[in-house]
Amino acid sequence: MLKPIPNCLSALLRLRPLVLAVLVALPTACSLADGGTDEPPKKEIILVTEPPRDADGRLIPVEKTPEQWREELTDREFYILRESGTERAGTGRYLDNKEQGVYACAGCGLALFESKTKFDSGTGWPSFYRPIGDDHVADVRDESHGMVRVENRCARCDGHLGHVFNDGPRPTGQRYCMNGYALRFVPAQSEPADDQNAG
Ligand SMILES: [Zn+2]
């Protein structure tokens, strides 16, 4: 009668390294998931490819109070866009996204980058070699953190996006190093012609 108990115990002891490994792995997996998964957006954005301009051709700014931005943005988006924060490398959204489409400002929807200009920089942040349009992404001199860098802001809502460096690939040689949570990806429209052909 007693014999199965030691057998059971020894079986459990043999399994212990596995149980420990699972217990150790769980919090790690959870923290990675927490940093790496997308937050559901608070508000759908409307992609703006032809932004309204004044008589001189300048973009008409989108201006909102911090309270209004807080209502529309998730905590992460607000931290990046409105407080010039930086997501930890490898934790932002769209890092591995290879779908065709447009990356827009998560604040105001202004089209910023085309998927065909996205490249794998190996930095842990979504990277592009050229913005959409001549004036959608603004360059601002940034002397914070003891460095002189060129900061990128959305030219329409002044949201912080990331920084641009001169070590990118051809044809521009530029690397627009973006925070994933400053962006919202809008997939390319599927071809309606396929449905007609199928019918
Ligand atoms: Zn914007």
| One-letter-per-residue 3-state SS of 128-191 | ECCCCCCCCEEEEEECHHHCCEEEEEECCCCCEEEEEECCCCCCCCCEEEECHHHEEEEECCCC
Is there a single domain that holds both residue 104 and residue 173?
yes
> What distance in angstroms lies between residue 179's CA and the mean position of ligand 1's atoms?
13
Predicted confidence (pLDDT) per residue in 145-171, tens digit = 899 999 999 999 999 999 999 999 999
Is there a single domain that holds both residue 108 and residue 168?
yes
Active site residues: 177
> What distance in angstroms lies between residue 109's CA and the mean position of ligand 1's atoms?
6
**pLDDT for residue 198:** 44
**pLDDT for residue 159:** 98
Residue range of the domain that includes 123:
66-187
Positions in the chain whose pLDDT score sits under 70:
1-38, 190-199
pTM of the model: 0.77
Predicted confidence (pLDDT) per residue in 45-71, tens digit = 999 999 999 999 999 999 999 999 999
Domain assignment of residue 152, yes or no: yes
Is there a single domain that holds both residue 32 and residue 70?
no
Is there a single domain that holds both residue 74 and residue 135?
yes
Is there a single domain that holds both residue 16 and residue 105?
no
**pLDDT for residue 23:** 39
> What distance in angstroms lies between residue 56's CA and the mean position of ligand 1's atoms?
20
> What distance in angstroms lies between residue 21's CA and the mean position of ligand 1's atoms?
45
**pLDDT for residue 190:** 59
